[in-house]
Amino acid sequence: MKEQLAAEMERLRRLWRILQLEKRDHCQDRVVLGGLERLLARLRDELSSGELGPLAEELFAKAEGYGQLTPPERRKVILELEDLLRGVGATTAVTVTTTATVAAGAGESQPQPPSGAFPKAGDLQAPVRYAKGVGTQREKLLAKLGIRTIEDLLLYFPRRIEDRSRIKRIASLRHGERATIRGLIRAVDVIRPRGDLEILKVAVQDSTGIAYAVFFNQPWLRKQLRPGERIALWGEVERTWGEIQLASPVWEPADENFLTGRLVPIYPLTEGLTQPMLMRLIRENLALYQDQIEELLPEEVRERHGLLPRREAFFKIHFPQSMEEFERARTTLAFEELFLFQIGVALERRRTRAQQGNILEIDDDLLEGFIAGLPFELTGAQRRAVEEIRQDLAAPRPMNRLLQGEVGSGKTVVALIACLIAHASGYQAALMAPTEILAQQHYHVIGELVRRAGWPLRVGLLIGSLPEREKAALRRLIAQGELDLVIGTHALIQDEVRFRRLGLAVIDEQHRFGVIQRAQLERKGKNVDILVMSATPIPRTVTLTLYGQFDISILDELPRPRRIKTYWVAEERREEVYAIVRKRLAAGEQAYIVYPLVEESEELELRAATQMFEELSRGPLRGFRLGLLHGRMGEREKRRVMEQLRARELDALVATTIIEVGIDVPDASVMVIEHAERFGLAQLHQLRGRIGRAGQEAVCFAIASPKTEEAKRRLAAFRDLDDGFRIAEEDLLIRGPGELMGLAQHGLDTTFKAADLLRDLELMKRAREEAFRLIEEDPEHPLVGEFKRRFGERFELARF
Ligand code: ADP
Ligand code: MG
């Protein structure tokens, strides 16, 4: 089919663009969620039946094991992949607009000027090699920093500003402080304590005393630093043996005032480029190109938010006179980029809003009857979410809602009520979970609720591990409309699965799926309403970026507040921990013992898991009924173990991280996390969410003797904080945004240059509001072009 082929080619072109991005990102395998290999596996599966099947197979074969390679090796793979794509002509990248509207044939997004053709003078879009002070050598170095055009250079904002403005008298210098001094070079000594070490000791005098600047192995400085010259120095002061020293200080001629005596921008660097080099490049080109920096935001927006004129902001973010100036410039440029990004979000939202939707309604009595049949009262947060979802479903456009709530906040029942509403209007619903265990558990819990409440909902479970015959039977029931709610895994989106009338798709743990799977499920019906659920606590700014086009309901209230005491215990005291565990197990409680396992190889992991299990059953937990759960077990086996735990046939479960997601055994109340320093903070918190689920008093021991400050901070935060969102924010502070829950995979750590995803929530909200207003008034506003230019495919990658 021609149409299908065109669609598949488009996928390959998209792949091409992703490869370009990956190269630009130095082959770190983080530009696609889940990694390149997984993307190609998916592509292979999805294209297997078509004409491009063999090619997709070959692409996948080349990319196998990609994640394990070093960046240079990955680069080779990319080149090979590119060759294959070139072979079918899937190279003319097209400009990505929003996810749905892809304009064909608009040319490369990063055009290489044809050789000989010079870009017109003063063009900010020109390659950076046309910038003043940049030759081929520097061009390469700048590329490593992601700087390709002159505009990129001007947009390369300092990470922070260092205040070197205070000039101190030498006599008043205190040990440990950082300061600028100015003085006359009195003497220069060369000392050679060892053959491979040359120390240059420069005596600098001002009217109050003498300080020594010390440089190591920089023989060329001897020519530059001569007695009688006046210089300025900036560095950390050491007072030892009555001498004042500055080791490897920044220095310059006393009247230069460029690197000292003022506020100095600090840029992220790469080897071969220094701070002064970048500062000079940026200063000179800023001066040269300033006329090209035109106002971008609508005048009234700029005024409403008290932003600086754009050109002024560019100067002041790089070369501020005061911290206030810097902050104001940063705010201005952060607002600008958030605003542009949210234009994309607004367009996407507008597109979904414009779609025709089904009207799914239920009358009050029926709904209240359902809710009254629950074995518990809904929390206020759950009620609000139900009401929001109900209104969405009743509206004549498809719902696009994110239900966000910590583990245990009660998302399942909210989703179930949504399914009931769909059913009441004669539609089927589907609930997709990332693993069989989770699907199984939903089936179990929902089945139980439905039975007890006597709701007329026919529920089925469709997972890959069922015998083919059973699956076929289920598919028949689904197609005939004999099932009202189908719970399942990826098995739900297979081609053979056809719904009679799918009205609502719920996706649990959305971050484990991609946009593609969501779209596949969506296509199983007409104008399907979508509810995605996530327990990943991410700061709100990040939510507004990743999930910007969704409406959001938040469950910020736990039905049964957790009562978990968390202890951080040093390795040496492990015995004491197990003594407590034994006591609690003897009293009839249930425990998880968690080990971090790195998947170096399947076999190793299997062996390690089994070995731990045996050690525990022979040693500290002898006499108790232990189960083992690890990543190398088959789905069925895992399920059996979980069932045993739930049925109290086991006292404790020795497990690797796979219990992380959504497992619900309400009775478990003890957790021991071994080598806790190896887990991230968010992960630790998710793990802890497995215990005390019935609201009983529970205890969690994190066993760790961490070496790094970061790990110590993490464990202290884990011990002291229990709110998921606070934890997410702390995590962000400790690790930086790139590390947080796959943000780097979305490129979010580099998408924004001035905005700070942790601090800029207020700014983000305001920028978002303005962008939405702009698109509402004029969806073809010229700034849409600016948005595309600035973010391009980055935008797509940064979304769910
Ligand atoms: P989540 O999926 O958000 O992690 P679940 O939906 O699995 O949480 O709910 C966690 C537990 O809380 C389940 O055992 C569920 O039955 C129970 N629960 C949900 N809502 C309430 C409520 N309003 N009152 C008491 N228990 C509730
Ligand atoms: Mg859940």
**Residue 290 alpha carbon to ligand 1 centre in Å:** 58
Split at pLDDT 50, 70, 90, the class of 757 is confident
pLDDT (0 to 100) of residue 515: 72
How many Cβ atoms sit within 10 Å of the Cβ of residue 500? Answer: 14
Predicted pLDDT of residue 407: 76
CB of 401 within 8 A of CB of 388? yes
Residue 217 Rama label (left phi>0; alpha psi -120 to 50; beta): left
Range with lowest mean pLDDT among 12-26, 161-175, 698-712: 12-26
Distance 408 CA to ligand 2 centre (A): 7
Using CA atoms, how far residue 667 sits from 645, 652, 787, in Å, is 9, 11, 51
> pLDDT tens for residues 519-567?
889 899 999 999 999 887 677 777 888 788 889 999 988 887 778 999 9
- Calculate how far, in angstroms, residue 383's C-alpha sits from the geometric centre of ligand 1: 13
| Ligand 1 atom closest to the CA of 555, numbered from 1 | 3
Asked whether the predicted pLDDT for residue 71 surpasses 90, the reply is: no
Q: Which of 547-551, 571-575, 715-719 has the lowest mean pLDDT?
A: 547-551
- Of 59-68, 80-89, 401-410, the range with the highest mean pLDDT is 401-410
Residue 581 pLDDT more than 90? yes
Closest ligand, as measured to the CA of 664:
1
The Cα 455–Cα 449 span in angstroms is 9
Which residues contact ligand 1 via a Cβ below 6 A? 376-379, 382, 405, 407-413, 535, 559-560, 664, 666, 693
Residue of 291, 296, 280, 395 lying closest to 336 (CA atoms): 296
CA trace torsion 692, 698, 704, 705 (10° rounding):
150
Q: Which of 413, 416, 431, 665 to mutate to test the pocket of ligand 1 (most atoms within 8 A of CB)?
A: 413
Q: Residue 407: nearest ligand to its CA?
A: 1
**Averaged pLDDT score across all residues of the chain:** 86
pLDDT at position 384 is 97
Q: What residues are paired with 190 via a beta bridge?
A: 200
Q: What is the pLDDT of residues 645-696, one digit of tens each?
A: 889 999 999 987 656 454 678 889 999 999 899 888 888 888 898 898 888 8
- The SS3 of residue 14 is helix
Distance 290 CA to ligand 2 centre (A): 53
pLDDT bracket for residue 157 (50, 70, 90): very high
Give the integer Cα–Cα distance in Å for 160 and 590: 50
Copy the structure tokens of residue 328: 């104001």
User: Rounded to the nearest 5 degrees, what angle is found at the Cα of 294, between the Cα atoms of 291 and 312?
Assistant: 75
Is pTM beyond 0.95? Reply is no
Atom of ligand 1 nearest to the CA of 694: 14
Proximal ligand: closest to the CA of 537: 1
Contacts 24+ apart (CB under 8 A), 576-584: 577/672, 577/701, 577/703, 578/620, 578/621, 578/672, 580/699, 580/701, 581/620, 581/621, 581/652, 581/670, 581/672, 581/701, 582/620, 582/621, 582/624, 584/669, 584/670, 584/699
**Residue 334, H or E segment:** helix 323-354
Beta pairing, strands 197-206 & 178-194: antiparallel
Provide the pLDDT for residue 599. 56
508 CA closest ligand 1 atom index: 2
> Which pLDDT score is estimated for 479?
97
Predicted confidence (pLDDT) per residue in 212-232, tens digit: 999 999 888 988 999 999 999
Contact partners, residue 351, CB within 8 Å, separation at least 6: 98, 100, 101
Residue 707's Cβ-side half-sphere holds a number of Cα atoms within 13 Å equal to 0
The answer on pLDDT for 105 being more than 80 is no
Buried b (16+ CB within 10 A) or exposed e, 171-204: eebeeeebbbbbbbbeebeeeeeeeeebebebbb
**Among 382, 386, 402, 412, residue to substitute to test ligand 1 (most atoms within 8 Å of Cβ):** 412
pLDDT at 36 over 50: yes
Average pLDDT over residues 769-792: 91
- What is the band of 207 on the pLDDT scale with cuts at 50, 70, 90? very high
Tell me the mean pLDDT in the region 440-462.
Answer: 91
- Nearest alpha-carbon partner for 795 in 13, 95, 93, 46: 95
pLDDT for res 303: 95
What Rg, from alpha-carbon coordinates, does the chain have? 30
The ligand minimizing its distance to the Cα of 693 is 1
> For residue range 283-305, what is the model confidence (pLDDT) as tens digits?
999 999 998 898 999 999 999 99
d(CA 76, CA 479): 47
pLDDT band at 111 (very low <50, low <70, confident <90, very high): very low
Cα dihedral 102/106/110/115 (nearest 10): 160
Q: What are the beta bridge partners of residue 533? A: 403
